[in-house]
Amino acid sequence: MKLRCRGPTGQSTLTGLGPALSVAALQDLLAERTGVPPHEQELLTGFPPAVLRLPDDRSAAASAALPLASGDTLVAVRGTPAAEAGAGHAAAGWNGLRSAEDEDEDLARAIAASLGQELPPRTGPAPASDSDIAACGAASAGPTRASGAAAGPPAAARPQQQAAPTEVALSEGSGAAIARRIIASDNSCLFNAVGYVMEGSRSKAAELRRVIAAAVAGDPEMYSEAFLGRPNADYCRWILSQDKWGGAIELSILSRHYERELAAYDVQTKRCDVYGQDSGYPQRGMLIYDGLHYDALALAAFPGAAEELDVTMLEAGPLLTLAERAAAELVSKAHEARQFTDIGNFTLRCGVCQVGVRGEKEAMEHAKVTGHSNFSEYN
């Protein structure tokens, strides 16, 4: 089993976790990676993050009994024992996740710059005024139906050590295929990927950021500081900035906005998270995520077919089942070709002083100490 972990010192990945590993041993591994001693650890998991209850006898209990699946994220924060934990500690953990997202963005920009990719200008921390947020909050709360094509994450490096297909044919021999539709790396790839899937447009980012800000501003009880990791109004300003990128919160809001399911395939873990799955929505769209970037997935009429023929929304039934199998195969092939970036464990070399660093934590520390931002990935 593989688990992602975050803590005060950054993010990393725990791999090769066997079913016999004790909870105490897992906590020792987390302590090494996060800097939080086992006796001070409060573990959060899920979305929104909730306290993970640990057994009393952690040396005898197997970690396999914990409600965790391969690819899940564990957040380790310093806190009181789990039995005394409350929403305040969960909020602290989620705030740590958000802070790490901002650091991920800085690192991703540095990598992109080192590889010669174009970067959009930073827009500053507060792109929207209070009146803008009020206008968002006053927007219609009703859902918007999908139209058009029947249907954090950043400007960042997407290393491709090997070739992998961008299309996989459906297995029943119809000639149709699941195709990866490339979205620009401009810090708004999540929003534009959703725009393509829902409306056939790659230029919906600004509009969808406003949709999310409206949803958050319109429900301060649900989208509280404990949930968001920052005050409601601050989050609305943050998400309206064109250089901030989204994740689970934003996908869940957009699924509800369009009243469609959104399936997000993760190339690194090969897992699929479906947003809106239990809401009774009639159709599903698909995205693919490589650790730093989102692209859209579409059902092409045949390999190489024009995008104008794409179908990006599929109803439950045999066709969706075939499409999901093809999507899973495409993701598996991309994984085999290592078309993903493990921001917790990838190896980088500083182009200025040639020092090698591993993972987000070391790269950020090196950049902060030296001011160097010219990194390149190496094996």
The set of catalytic residues is 186, 189, 293, 372
Q: State how far the Cα of 103 lies from the Cα of 36, in Å rounded to an integer.
A: 20
For 237, counting Cβ atoms within 10 Å of its Cβ (0-12 exposed, 13-18 middle, 19+ buried), the class is buried
Q: State how far the Cα of 279 lies from the Cα of 299, in Å rounded to an integer.
A: 23
Amino acid letter, 181: R
Q: Residue 265: beta bridge partners?
A: 272, 288
Question: What letter does residue 177 receive in the DSSP assignment?
Answer: E
Picking from 235, 269, 274, 262, the residue whose alpha carbon sits closest to that of residue 101 is: 235
Q: State how far the Cα of 104 lies from the Cα of 155, in Å rounded to an integer.
A: 11
Q: Structure tokens of 333?
A: 């092939």
Omega into 67 within 30° of 0, i.e. cis?
A: no
Q: Scan for tokens 């219609």, then name that residue.
A: 140
CB atoms within 10 A of CB 71: 17
For residue 369, what are the CA distances in angstroms to 271, 346, 366?
36, 20, 5
Q: Is the dihedral of CA 263, 267, 271, 273 positive or negative?
A: negative
List of residues 6+ apart from 364 with CB closer than 8 A: 10, 103, 106, 107
